[in-house]
Structure 1
Amino acid sequence: MISNSYFLNVVRFILLVLVQVLVFNRLNLFGFINPMVYILFLYWYPIKENRAAFIFQAFLLGFAIDFFSDSMAIHAASAITIAYMRPAIMRFVFGVNFEFQSFKLSNTTRIQQITFLTLLIIVHHLVFFSLEIFSLANFLLILQKVLATGAATLVLCLLFGSLFSVRKE
């Protein structure tokens, strides 16, 4: 069972990097919106896994996107930030329930899942666009990019999530 989970994470990693680099980095909606669906890897990652390994994998994910996008480690910094903050965000959304051994993301309500994904996207985009623009004088531009790109990313992540979710009957 562990090897199945490991294999699934490797496949998700590779596919999300390829989809992000080959499709969504080239997509330019309204001139400035590029959805970042690779965040789904950090959303779908198993909860009870080793945290240091998770942060390292977040770095590798961000580094792979940066390597192909030529974006100077901004994706890596953003991915590491949300990987580090994920337990605090989970505690905020799910309460102390996520610390139990039997907790699974699929057993939570849809609203909790959307809230968790939304907070991950907002934190990621705040870090990403703050580092990209790197000027508080352009705070409204940062906010505009966070909200517009965040909305597009959330919609696409929800579509991908519903497309590739395992249905229980």
Structure 2
Amino acid sequence: MNNTVFLNSLRFVLLILAQVLIFNAMNFMDSINPLVYVIFFYWYPIKGNRTLFMLISFLLGLIIDIFSDTMALNAIASLTVAYARPVIMRFCFGVNYEFQNFSFKNTTKVQRITFMALLILIHQLVFFSLEILSFAHILLILKKVFATGLVTLVLCTLFSSLFSPTSE
């Protein structure tokens, strides 16, 4: 248990540092800024305390907001993803995820990438909808969600395959 707490704490700090120091400074094509800290929602233990997870998710988003000057947009998007995570897991992995012995090792790569893509999609939709805050600009919102989401998904998939112990 202590090993899990230490690993998640380390991931928390490293993802904040990576997002703030490296990825916030990147701008692909002048508008795409990958939000790779979203992989924390993928890596968090499946059977972890839900209340603690939501609190940590809010804190993660809030810290990113403080350093990014984004007025709590990341905090709201992170909290939304944390709240929706069980529904997304049930959608991607079926009823199997509710069993005690469920592990990502027992799932297919397509299921894991779908899970990660849905986490990123929800985060990006909430983030950019609140950032732009106008249905008149729905095409701009969708463009930003798609472009940033795609780059974020590629980077998160890369990170997951490099740093996740459950990768095959």
* TM-score computed with the length of structure 2 as normaliser: 0.97
Q: Match for residue 44 of structure 1?
A: 43
- 1:99 is matched with 98
CA distance in 2, matches of 1:69, 1:22: 10
* Alignment-derived partner of residue 3 in structure 1: 2
Matches within 5 A, 1:8-27: 8-27=7-26
Tell me the equivalent position of 2:120: 121
Q: For the residues of structure 1 that align with 2:126 and 2:158, how far apart are their CA atoms?
A: 24
2:132 match: 133
Question: 1:13-92, aligned counterparts within 5 Å?
Answer: 13-92=12-91
The unaligned stretches of length 5 or more in structure 2 are none
What amino acid maps onto 1:80 in structure 2?
Answer: L
- Measured at CA, do residues 168 and 35 of structure 1 come closer, stay the same or move farther in structure 2, by a change above 3 Å? closer
Write the distance in 2 (CA, Å) between the matches of 1:83 and 1:137: 28
- In structure 2, the residue matched to 1:159 is 158
Separation of aligned partners in 2, 1:6 and 1:41: 13
Quote the offset at 1:162 in angstroms. Answer: 1.1
CA RMSD across the alignment: 1.2
Conservation of the 8 A alpha-carbon contact between 2:34 and 2:149: yes
Residues 115, 167 of structure 1: CA spacing in aligned structure 2 closer, same or farther, 3 A cutoff? closer
* 1:156 CA displacement: 0.3
Where does the alignment leave 5 or more consecutive residues of structure 1 unmatched?
none
Query: Bigger shift: 159-168 or 32-41?
Result: 159-168
How far the C-alpha of 1:166 sits from its partner, in A, is 2.3
CA deviations over 1:70-93 (Å, ceiling 9, x no partner): 110000000000000000000111
Q: CA deviation at 1:124?
A: 0.4
**CA shift for structure 1 position 167:** 6.5
- What is the deviation of 1:107? 2.2
- Higher mean alpha-carbon deviation, 159-168 vs 126-135, is at 159-168
Q: After TM superposition, which residue ranges in structure 1, 4 or more long, deviate above 3 angstroms?
A: none
Scaled by the length of structure 1, the TM-score of the pair is 0.97
Count of aligned pairs between the two proteins? 168
CA contact (8 A) 2:128 2:144 kept: yes
User: Using the alignment, how far apart are the partners of 1:82 and 1:168 within structure 2?
Assistant: 23
TM-superposed CA distance for 1:104, in Å, is 1.1
Q: Give the match's secondary structure for 2:67.
A: helix
Residue 143 of structure 1 corresponds to which residue in structure 2?
A: 142
Q: 116-125 or 99-108, which moves further after superposition?
A: 99-108
Q: Is the 8 A contact 2:104 2:166 kept in 1?
A: no
